[in-house]
Amino acid sequence: MDEISTLPDRNVALPRHDAGVVASRAFPPQGVPVIHGINRYGLWTLYMKEVRRFLKVQTQTIWAPAVTTLLFLVIFSVALGRSGREMMGVPFASFIAPGLIAMGMMQNAFANSSFSLLVGKIQGTIIDYLMPPLTEGELMAGIICAAVTRAVMVGLAVAAAMLFWPGVHLAAPHPWAIVWFGLMGAVLLSYLGMLTSIWADKFDHNAAITNFVIAPLSLLSGTFYAIHNLAPAFQAVSRANPFFYVISGFRYGFIGRSDIGEGAMAVGWAGAVLGVLNCALGVLTYVLLRRGWKLKS
């Protein structure tokens, strides 16, 4: 009769040779990965954790930005949209409305992705992001997708409110441009926010990027004006601003006109360049996470 061995995590006594087989299956050698491929459960858990974090304070993260964006619409449409003023062949309120939606989406994508890792570093809870069995790509994907989700929610809230504002007509002659440039803008700012959270050591660093980089680029992106009204030198500066292409491409989806260039071909090229830029930022973010720069040291 075989000698009996009882495993600590089993209630059934097994022969010793069978117990060794079971133990080897339950506990693989050290260094051998248990999860192969994408850790879907871990990725989903991180994503839902980030989404629930901003939904718990949705008055601050969703509705307050929507109200702020609507105030921009009210102020500029009342101040500059009187006497039937038009811009690019449409009423002024309909001209600035898509840009305000895109601007609100981008700013909130940056705010969301620039928060998690920075707070973790300041409060000493960064281990909660680094210790779980998630690869650098999965960690990046969870945070970026949550930031894009917040951006989409803010955009939908602003658009829904603008539908009831007199003088705003939101049509969709080019839905592909609305989806593509909306997502590209949100992803662009999500990457910039995550890079900022990796680099920053305190909230002052994050606020400096927000106030001196993100806000100026947003306000000088052609949201409230068409760049063909500017002097050639300022037009060149505007075309060097990636936010300009997000705003103009997003607006093209609503009014069918854009100051990027003539025809859909120019808008399509701008969308392709934004895609390449986002890929480059994604690679940079992945490399920094892989090295653990200012996260593991």
Q: Give per-residue pLDDT as tens, 84-110.
A: 678 888 888 889 999 999 999 999 999
Distance CA 245, CA 241 (A): 8
Q: Which SS3 state, helix, strand or coil, does residue 6 take?
A: strand
What the block records as the tokens of 297 is: 């040291």
Distance CA 215, CA 46 (A): 29
Alpha helices in the chain (DSSP H): 16-26, 40-55, 58, 64-80, 92-113, 116-123, 127-130, 136-162, 175-199, 203-209, 215-219, 232-239, 242-255, 263-291
Confidence bin at 5 (pLDDT 50/70/90): very low
pTM: 0.86
> Mean pLDDT, to the nearest integer, of 40-55?
95
Residue 46: its pLDDT value, please? 95
pLDDT > 90: percent of the chain = 57
How long, in residues, is the chain? 297
Distance CA 219, CA 224 (A): 8
Q: Mapped to the 3 state alphabet, what secondary structure does 261-287 carry? A: CCHHHHHHHHHHHHHHHHHHHHHHHHH
Residue 186 pLDDT more than 70? Answer: yes
Every domain of the chain and the residues it spans: 1-32, 39-291
Do 248 and 257 form a contact (C-beta atoms < 8 A)? Answer: no
Residue 34: its pLDDT value, please? 74
**pLDDT tens string 200-257:** 999 999 999 999 999 999 988 988 888 888 888 888 989 999 999 999 999 999 999 8
Residue 121 has, within 13 A of its CA and on its CB side, a CA count of 22
Residue 33 pLDDT more than 80? Answer: no
